[in-house]
Structure 1
Amino acid sequence: MVHRNAPLTETGRLRLARCVVEDGWPLRRAAERFQVAPTTAQRWAARYRASGEAGMADRSSRPRHSPRRTPTRTERRIIKVRILRRWGPARIAHLLDLVPPTVHRVLTRFGLARLTHLDRATGRNIRRYERERPGELVHVDIKKLGNIPDGGGHKVLGRQAGRKTRKNAGYSYIHTAVDDHSRLAYSEILTDEKKETATGFWTRAHAYFTSVGITVERVLTDNGACYKSHTWRDTLAAAGITHKRTRPYRPQTNGKVERLNRTLLDEWAYARPYRSEQERRDAFPDWLHTYNHHRGHTALAGKPPASRVPNLTGQYT
């Protein structure tokens, strides 16, 4: 394939070479005529003398010999460890007494998928997808989170004192719904994960999505008891929404809401030392607003979810 900035195509090279070899043009004159360096004119003339018209084609830039390339036996050992143990370059390098960049180059050369693209249990590639329009699929999940005792936990008091205050602090349950296409999220901190609580949450989440112009068509959940209840089933059916559940032991299928759970832990729940559970809860609405309206999302080319929801207000507040 000719480089887009190359001064000569294969036809141009052939014309230049024939001017020199068959018509007897001096190299400098031919170079000026075709606007290349004399050394370039000399190279194509030499190739024409040696191989004729076939010599005008591009050649591979791969070197004929690579004395510093990783030995084939070592490459096979790297690939074997990767397939059997599904380790990253650093761990493989430590096991085989290599350096991580070498292992990474070998894995890249043989087209092995990134670990983040694999199901660790089976080693199969995770199929990535994105729905074409908002509301086509909404992911729903619950994240259980330990409460912060009054006065603060171990991040404020230290690990030793924090253990004494942690007893009987209880748990919170973060119910979250994420639109597959836009990544727009609706989330609430509730007291349990019972079927009535989960159904009530979805009723409010559905109203929120409707208010911003999103018509929900399908909902995807895991196989939790609340999502298998008749109450949940009947609530979705009454709204004309199809309910889908992930296969057992396959949380990757619901990966978008699972990823949001990790993000909210890193950027809100554990982002700073809170002195009480109420202080942390008070910070949640602002964080969720920032996530929806201002925080850039890598899957959206650095734009926030609000950029894909035209009817959503408050992007600039």
Structure 2
Amino acid sequence: MDGGRPIAHVAAEAGISRRCLAKWYARWRAHGENGLLDHSSRPATSPARTAEDIADLVEALRRQTKYGPARLAAELQRLHGVTVAPATVHRVLVRRGLNRLRDLDPPTGEQLREVIRYEHDRVGDMIHIDIKKLGRIPIGGGWRMHGIGTDAARASKRLGPGTGKVGYTYLHTAIDDHSRLAYTEALEDEKAVTAAAFWHRAVAFFAAHDIVPIQRVAPPAW
């Protein structure tokens, strides 16, 4: 090495192989400090890479049909006489960011924009309130289980409370915008007195988790 010490001794002290040290030493001699920076292992050229015109066909078919790699390969052969392996189609989809259907708008096939969630800076800055109306499930299951108009479906309704109508339940939910801590109750209705009582219990719940004071409240978007 530059100090006159054998490269094998320096490599042993550094805990690396002689070959590895020789490689980095040669880089340093050739390029200085820049030679010690990490470099991409990607080749400068890729002669076997799928041609861009074929990749364009893959992308167009993917956006139009939402097919997977195997069906896209078959369609390329049927429509354009182009033979491409499904694995190659998959690589093209990954390269162009089309390999996940959830990233494509179903009606148009256009790329969906990245969802950036807005978030308040501190707990208690904003509490979101929501009420969701849900149909109760009859004892033994409803028409989805027994079929519409069947004797079993009618019997399941007669087993319900009161007049036999199963009715609804109302999920009252309060969520802190910053922490996403949520408090939910299943209540009998969504009347003002019910909602107000729920809010008082929600405030106590948040206070027990050190979310105080509550600055603002976003009511349900009715």
Shift of 1:174: 0.8
Sequence identity, in percent? 35
2:134 is matched with which residue: 142, 145, 155? 145
SS in 2 for 1:202: helix
SS in 2 for 1:178: strand
Residue 106 of structure 1 pairs with residue 103 of structure 2 = no
Any conservation in 2 of the 1:147–1:169 contact (CA below 8 Å)?
A: yes
Structure 1 equivalent of residue 69 of structure 2: 93
TM-score by length of 2: 0.59
Q: Residue deviations 1:278-297, cap 9 Å, x none?
A: xxxxxxxxxxxxxxxxxxxx
Partner of 1:287: none
Structure 2 counterpart of 1:183, one-letter code: R
Matched-pair contact (CA < 8 Å) for 2:59–2:93: no
Residue 75 of structure 1 and its aligned partner are, at CA, apart by 4.3
Q: Within 2, Cα distance between the matches of 1:120 and 1:138? A: 33
Matched, 1:33 2:10: yes
2:35 counterpart residue number: 56
State the secondary structure of the residue aligned to 1:56: helix
Equivalent residue number for residue 128 of structure 1: 117
One-letter amino acid of the counterpart of residue 159, structure 1: H
Distance 1:207 1:48 in 2: 65
Distance (whole Å) between structure 2 residues aligned to residue 212 and residue 48 of structure 1: 57
Displacement of 1:211: 5.0
Pairwise CA RMSD of aligned residues?
Answer: 4.5
State the partner residue of 1:188. Answer: 185
- Superposed, 1:1-317 pairs within 5 Å as 16=1, 19=2, 29-35=6-12, 36-40=16-20, 42-43=22-23, 51=30, 53=32, 56-58=35-37, 59-66=39-46, 69-77=49-57, 91-93=67-69, 96-97=72-73, 98=86, 102=91, 105-107=94-96, 115=102, 123-149=112-138, 151-154=139-142, 158-160=145-147, 163-164=153-154, 165-166=156-157, 168-214=165-211, 215-224=213-222
TM-aligned CA distance change 1:192 to 1:44, over 3 Å: closer
1-structure distance, mates of 2:105, 2:197:
33
Q: Distance in 2 between matches of 1:119 and 1:199?
A: 40
TM-score by length of 1: 0.44
Query: Residue 177 of structure 1 aligns to a residue in which SS?
Result: strand
Equivalent AA in structure 2 for residue 152 of structure 1: G
How many pairs align?
A: 191
> How far apart, in 1, do the equivalents of 2:51 and 2:169 lie?
54
Matched with 2:79 is: none
State the distance in 2 between where 1:186 and 1:141 align: 11
1-side partners of 2:28 and 2:181: how far apart? Answer: 62
Which structure's residues are more often helix, by fraction? 1
Q: How far apart are residue 179 of structure 1 and its match?
A: 1.8
Deviations 1:122-171 (A, max 9, x none): 9332212444433122121122211122x32149x943366433583222
Cα distance in structure 2, aligned partners of 1:174 and 1:221: 14
Gaps of 5+ in 1: 1-15, 225-317
Alignment partners' CA distance in 1, 2:113 and 2:36: 40
Counterpart of 1:232? none
User: Separation in 2 of the partners of 1:221 and 1:115?
Assistant: 30
Could you tell me how far apart the structure 2 residues matched to 1:184 and 1:200 are? Answer: 19
Determine the C-alpha separation between the residues in 2 that align with 1:212 and 1:55. 52
Taking structure 1 as reference, are residues 134 and 55 closer, same or farther at Cα in structure 2, changes over 3 Å only? closer
